[in-house]
């Protein structure tokens, strides 16, 4: 199966960034969703994907989106790659076990 466009959740993180580079090498378009920057910096200045062609970068929190919003966002994609990792901006209170539950 030939993929025309793949959605990468967490495209600006370590796994997502290198996955997107591989997809681009294979002439596959990419749409990605990443969490917004923690501070008020301009998104494009902190987005490592800003200079890539064929990459549509969205900013938001998939956990706060409705099912309909997610379905609409994925409508033009042929595949989905989960590359989201732990958000290092969240620090657990001791004992950290509670954040995993």
Domains of the chain, earliest start first: 5-100 (3.40.50.720)
Q: Which two tokens stand for residue 57?
A: 């970068």
Helices marked H in 1-101 = 14-25, 43-46, 67-74, 97-100
Only one residue has tokens 């923690």, namely: 38
* pLDDT in 10s for each residue of the chain, 101 residues: 789 999 999 998 889 999 999 999 999 999 999 888 766 544 445 677 878 889 999 999 999 999 999 999 999 999 999 998 766 656 667 776 655 55
């Amino acid at each position: 199966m030939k993929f025309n466009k793949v959605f990468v959740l967490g495209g600006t993180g370590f796994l997502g960034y290198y996955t997107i580079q591989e997809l681009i090498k294979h002439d596959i378009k990419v749409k990605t969703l990443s969490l917004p920057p923690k501070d008020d910096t301009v998104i494009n200045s902190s987005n490592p994907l800003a200079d890539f062609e064929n990459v549509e970068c969205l900013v938001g929190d998939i956990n706060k989106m409705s099912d309909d919003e997610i379905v609409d966002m994925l409508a033009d994609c042929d595949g989905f790659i989960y590359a989201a990792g732990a958000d290092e901006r969240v620090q657990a209170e001791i004992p950290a076990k509670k954040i995993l539950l």
